[in-house]
Structure 1
Amino acid sequence: MRSPAFLSLITALLIYEWAGAQTYTVKRIPENTLEITGRGDSKAWEKATRLTDFSYPWEQENAPATSFAALWDGKWLYCLYQATDDSIITPVIKNNKMDAGAADRVEIFMARDTTLLPFYYCLEMDAAGRTLDYRASFYRKMDYTWSWPGKQFLIKTATTTNGYIVEIAISIQSLNDLGLLPNQRLLAGLFRAERKTAAGGYNAFHWISWVKPNATQPDFHIPSAFGVLVLE
């Protein structure tokens, strides 16, 4: 069993390591006051801070609007994405979770620390409610056979007149079991893949992020793409 002094040292090192990272505060709510519907219409969401600082890190034009909000109640971390999209693309290719990786989608990557080792964990969620869940190791060593622990992740979605909504719940138990919540801080990347029809009918991806990664080419699988969610 690790001593309190050891745990305090680890906490101090993590705070130092993440000191310069962009942060978002996840406000706490009472248990059983938020039910995910896919519409983000629970009154509890009025307590959350809306994060709208999403942009195209590798393009000059303005990105379509994306917002993120999060709350937690001690048992679940709730996340709400709202995406403006004038052409939602959700193809069915192999009729498995990999299809979400070819669709318009929002994403959250979660890591223990900035080494992205031994694993970081990814949820890529499309407008149809499909989730590409996998774990990976730096650099870009993906394990698509891995799935989020059973009944520890919930998702509901809805389309709107100008886009789509993705509402999820991740159990705090699963985050702790994966070692992702030291000192109630979650190293997380918040992303979006926007698929647009280009010349010749090719559907090209445009990449949207909360944090601007330190990369000249599109890449979210690097430490500089992550910020920190601080659970209040």
Structure 2
Amino acid sequence: MQNMTQEMKKYEVHLIEKSQLEITGKGDNTLWNQATILTDFTSPWDAALPAKMEFKALWDGVNLFFCFTVFDTLIRIDKKDDSIQSIGNSDRVELFFRPDNSLNPYYCLEIDTAARIMDFVAYPNKNFDFEWNWPQGQLEVKSSIQDKSYTIEGSISISSLKMLNILNDNKIETGIFKAKYNEIEKSIFEPTYISWVDPDSKTPNFHLPSSFGVLHLENRLSI
């Protein structure tokens, strides 16, 4: 199998001292000042410039912390229930993790502005198992909505990443995405898809080996 790591986009996840970085959904802990701000997002299938989005990540040896800030005030959320379909019809951010580029399997977290989580394991050709869930107690997510943006903040245990064979040599092959629903007619919404990595697909599709980059976990504290 081809090793694509050398060609992939990279994001450096800075190491912080073991702490109680409290997940509040606001992303305003001062520790986030130590994170690199990733804004390199595009919508390869839409000519319009997407709303600005920032992604940040940190880790402390025990947990991987992540924070999305999306500068958008027209938020679409389907509140009819908490089903997969309802979350799938809502504005959301997404993290995909894979052990390797075979995508057999890979693990998906899709999180809306109410911090509802659609977690599933996937296999090639969009074969999704929605009965699967992230290991219990190993994932925490909260969210908040501000005047000009919304924030989705969370933590994932390092032990669960290792158990799923996602963390290898301090690297996590990761897709970072967003789905934004726009009202094109009254009560008719269509999604725009935003990605860190352009998967070079003619139609919107995150479920390709080419849609992943690498989170590199820093292995020592900066002095």
TM band (smaller chain): over 0.9
Number of the residue aligned with 2:221:
none
Partner amino acid, structure 2, of 1:51: L
Residue of structure 2 in register with 1:82 after alignment: 69
Q: 2: distance between equivalents of 1:147 and 1:212?
A: 27
Q: Is the 8 A contact 1:97 1:130 kept in 2?
A: no
CA shift for structure 1 position 92: 2.1
Which sections of structure 1, spanning at least 5 residues, go unmatched?
1-12
Secondary structure of 1:19's match? Answer: helix
> How big is the shift at 1:45?
0.2
- Which residue in the other structure is 1:183 paired with? 169
For this pair of structures, how many residues does the alignment match? 218
Aligned position for 1:9: none
3-state SS in 1 of match to 2:33? helix
Aligned to 2:96: 109
Structure-1 separation of matches of 2:112 and 2:106: 20
Q: Secondary structure of the residue that 2:14 maps to in structure 1?
A: strand
Indicate the SS of the match to 2:159: helix
CA distance in 2, matches of 1:80, 1:95: 22
Aligned partner of 2:187: which letter?
G
1:125 is matched with: 111
Question: Given the alignment of the two structures, is residue 36 of structure 1 paired with residue 23 of structure 2, yes or no?
Answer: yes
- The aligned amino acid for 2:22 is E
Is the Cα–Cα contact under 8 Å of residues 88 and 163 in structure 1 kept in the other structure?
Answer: no
Identify which of 132, 146, 161 aligns with 2:147.
Answer: 161
Aligned to 1:209: 195
Paired residues of 2:77 and 2:90 also in contact (CA < 8 A): yes
- Choose the corresponding residue for 2:33, options 37, 46, 69: 46
Are the equivalent residues in 2 in contact too, given 1:34–1:42 (CA < 8 A)? yes
1:53-91 Cα offsets, whole Å, 9 max, x none, are: 111111112110011000000000000000112211111
Query: Which residue of 2 is the match for residue 5 of structure 1?
Result: none
Amino acid at match of 2:29: S
Partner of residue 27, structure 1: 14
Q: CA deviation at 1:165?
A: 0.3
How far off its partner does 1:41 sit?
A: 0.8
- Do the aligned partners of 2:82 and 2:116 also contact (CA within 8 Å) in 1? no
Counterpart amino acid of 1:31?
A: K
Q: SS state of the match for residue 61, structure 1?
A: coil
State how far apart, in whole Å, the 1-side matches of 2:33 and 2:81 are: 39
Identity over aligned pairs, percent: 37
Instruction: Report how far residue 97 of structure 1 moved.
Output: 4.3
Is the CA contact (8 Å cut-off) linking 1:191 and 1:208 kept in structure 2?
yes
* Letter of the 2:62 counterpart: K
Residue in 1 that maps onto 2:55 = 68
In the alignment, structure 2 segments of 5+ residues that lack a partner are 219-223
Letter in 1 for 2:177: F
Q: Which of the pair is proportionally richer in helix?
A: 1
Name 1:56's counterpart in structure 2.
Answer: 43
| Partner SS, residue 88 of structure 2 | helix
**Cross-structure match for 1:196:** 182
RMSD of aligned residue pairs (Cα, Å): 1.3
Q: TM-score, normalised by structure 2?
A: 0.94
DSSP 3-state at the match of 2:142: strand
Deviations, residues 159-181 of structure 1 (Å, cap 9, x unaligned): 01112100010000000000001
Amino acid at match of 2:101: T
* TM-score normalised to structure 1 length: 0.91
Which aligned pairs between 1:131-142 and structure 2 lie closer than 5 A?
131-142=117-128
Question: How far apart, CA to CA, are the structure 2 residues paired with 1:200 and 1:17?
Answer: 44
The alpha-carbon deviation at position 95 of structure 1 amounts to 2.8
Q: Which amino acid aligns with 1:107?
A: E
